[in-house]
Structure 1
Amino acid sequence: MLPYECGQEQHEHRIPEISRQGGKSVNGRYPFLVSIPHGGTAIPPELRGLVNLTRKEIVFNSDPHTRRIYGFDDRVEAMVDFDVSRIFVDTNRAPYDYPPRTQDGVVKVITQDGTPVFKRGQTPGRELIGTLLQNYYHPFHKQLAEALDTRAIEIAFDCHSMLPRSPPVRMDAGRPRPLFCLSNRGDRNGRPKGAGGLVTCPPEWLQALTRSFQAEFDGEGRVAMNDPFRGGFISVAHYRRRRIPWVQVEINRGLYETEGREADEARLVELRRRIFSALTGFWDEVSG
């Protein structure tokens, strides 16, 4: 068992006690941990010569520009990001979900449009996957755990981007996606799915966060809860370990990408400002 995992159990859903008065911590930063696990586009050297994808395909199948969009730097208590593309090491998947068990696990076999990731006969085996986990996956999760253990964190955000429409490999292929998806593993109101079900953030907090995003982006599109994503391994594993609330945040790439998949720098800066405004507006409300 990994140090940031723990077993299944029943969950009480209560509003956490906030340890400081007002929105910011004593150092003037907001008490947020920001995780950006899919912003990197690097190929691990262990995989050189095995990869079937072009540079453009690797970037497209990562979360391009999320480091710019969510790069709040010293305005938050802690930030952790990741250099390697999610295609090769996906830190938002369980470490035991790897091929041939799954095609969309910690190491991908196909891309979002069904293109093989590796050359014929070159899909990594268990030993190479173990090396990737040791060299990249576990150090990322260790950084998250250390931030939660040593910094004044009151809530964590796992930050991603999503395609404007569901990709071909998904069951809901072609379905339009909302402007933002905010996830806590609950239902579409942020409440537990079933008695004793897990939510990584209190429903009242997720609802307040949704209202804050909707106010900031009023008239531009829908802000959804747990649709189309309910949250991944990062938020669940680290919530279970420390009981500090986690929310997975997904931004629609249609907000900043052109048809040619380029992004305007000024637009990225504007989105970073507005998203931070939505996060801090939410926090100022719930921390009162």
Structure 2
Amino acid sequence: MDPVFDLAPGDGPLVISMPHCGTALSPGLAERLTPQALTLSDTDWHIPRLYDFARDAGATLLSARCSRYVVDLNRPPDGASLYPGQATTGLCPDTLFDGQPLYRDGQAPDAAEIAERVDAYWRPYHDALAAELARVKARHGFALLYDAHSIRSRVPRLFDGRLPDLNLGTARGTSAAPDLIAAVVATMERATAAEGLTCVTDGRFVGGHITRWYGRPAENVHALQMELAQDRYMDEDAPPFAYRPDRAERLQRALRPLLETLAGWRPTG
């Protein structure tokens, strides 16, 4: 896996991070995973394809190549839980979303291996993300970060029932300016209503490490997370997890005005 990410710089203030779309495994890892884990079922499948239209808005696109099973780029490097008291997965997860083991018996990484993965894969991605945010901030005076995710619409271990189609996270209103959040929420609600989709703000997913760490509105860096229900753009239940253009076009019609609102926003004062 060299490089560990793909980067397409844009000339606008918007940076789109896609930390869970990768499917590459580190050397020797495949032999240690369970057959179920080898399907990579917890991947944020096809996210770069789904958001390819964002290039038209001048957005920078940063996408991971490594699987979240190698290291989760949306977790803090010390492995602290983002959702205390709730089921979740860790920095180098040892279970799948459904709670089944990720590794064969005795094959889970120890602390030294986890530290090596952080250095080899986590830090390069975050170094690139920080550099791109600094670049666009230097050019525009501010930076906008949109952290793009997706997940199966039903994961009983993680949430009850069916997830809303669009799940906006704002770290409970702290990761971006209030007027930016209000504008994005209003646009999302209009766009999803027009397409017959559902949405929620700061529901089960309020934003992971990337949103919480980089979202510093007082420093003119504003971050939001979007978690999408996968059945709205792909076959989510079994390999090969095929992309469904017929479904994706409808979802993209809801996402496009949302990103246009983001890209067109300017701070006041």
Distance 1:159 1:48, change over 3 A: same
What is the aligned partner in structure 2 of residue 128 from structure 1? 113
1:103 and 1:221 map into 2 onto residues whose CA distance is 26
Would the aligned equivalents of 1:33 and 1:155 in 2 still touch at CA under 8 Å? Answer: yes
1:176 aligns to what? 162
Q: Which residue of 2 is the match for residue 222 of structure 1? A: 198
Alignment of 1:175-194 (within 5 A): 175-186=161-172, 190=173
Report what 2:226 is aligned to: 249
Gaps of 5+ in 2: 1-8, 82-86
8 Å contact from structure 1 (residues 103, 110) kept in 2 = no
Query: What is the Cα deviation at residue 240 of structure 1?
Result: 4.3
Residue 88 of structure 1: CA displacement?
Answer: 2.2
CA contact (8 A) 1:164 1:253 kept: yes
Give 3-state SS (helix, strand or coil) of 1:206's partner: helix
Letter matched to residue 228 of structure 1: R
8 Å Cα contact 1:32-1:78 kept in structure 2:
yes
2:241 is aligned with 1:265 = no
Distance (Å, rounded) in 1 between the aligned partners of 2:69 and 2:56: 29
| Residue segments in structure 1 that go unaligned for 5+ positions in a row | 1-26, 191-198
Selected match of 1:159 from 139, 144, 148: 148
**Offset of residue 273 of structure 1:** 5.3
Task: Find the residue that maps to 1:160 and give its secondary structure.
Answer: strand
Q: Give the 5 Å matches for 1:68-79.
A: 68-71=49-52, 72-73=54-55, 75-79=57-61
What is the one-letter code of the residue matched to 1:159? Answer: A
- Cα distance per residue 1:47-72 (max 9 Å; x no partner): 242111447631x2111111111233
Deviations along 1:210-235, one digit per CA (max 9) or x if unpaired, are 21122222251322110111101011
1:204 pairs with 2:179: yes
Amino acid at match of 2:232: L
Once the 2 structures are TM-superposed, how far is the Cα of residue 281 of structure 1 from its aligned partner?
Answer: 3.4
Give the corresponding residue for 1:64. Answer: 45
1:104 to 81, 89, 95: 89
Change (3 A) 1:285 1:74: closer
Partners of 1:163 and 1:142 in 2: CA distance? 29
For 2:231 and 2:266, the matched residues in 1 are separated by 30
Output the CA distance in 1 between the equivalents of 2:149 and 2:178.
21
Distance change >3 Å, CA 68–CA 273, structure 1 → 2: farther
Structure 2 match to 1:277: 257
Equivalent residue pairs, number: 245
Rg: which structure is higher? 1
In 2: Cα distance, 1:274 partner to 1:281 partner: 12
Shift of 1:90: 0.5
Could you tell me how far 1:120 is from its partner in structure 2? 0.2
In 2, are the aligned partners of 1:62 and 1:85 still within 8 Å (CA)?
A: yes
Q: Tell me what 1:89 maps to.
A: 71
1:3-152 aligned within 5 A: 29-54=11-36, 57-58=39-40, 60-71=41-52, 72-73=54-55, 75-97=57-79, 104-151=89-136, 152=139
RMSD: 2.8
Deviations 1:114-136 (A, max 9, x none): 22111100100111111111111
Larger mean CA deviation between 143-152 and 240-249 belongs to 240-249
- 1:112–1:168 contact (8 Å) kept in structure 2: no
Post-superposition offset of 1:141: 0.2
- For 2:16, what is the secondary structure of its paired residue? strand
Distance in 2 of aligned mates of 1:28 and 1:90: 25
* 1:286 Cα deviation from its structure 2 partner: 5.7
Out of 150-159 and 71-80, give the one that drifted further. Answer: 71-80
Q: Structure 2: how far apart are the matches of 1:98 and 1:124?
A: 17
Structure 1 length-normalised TM: 0.75
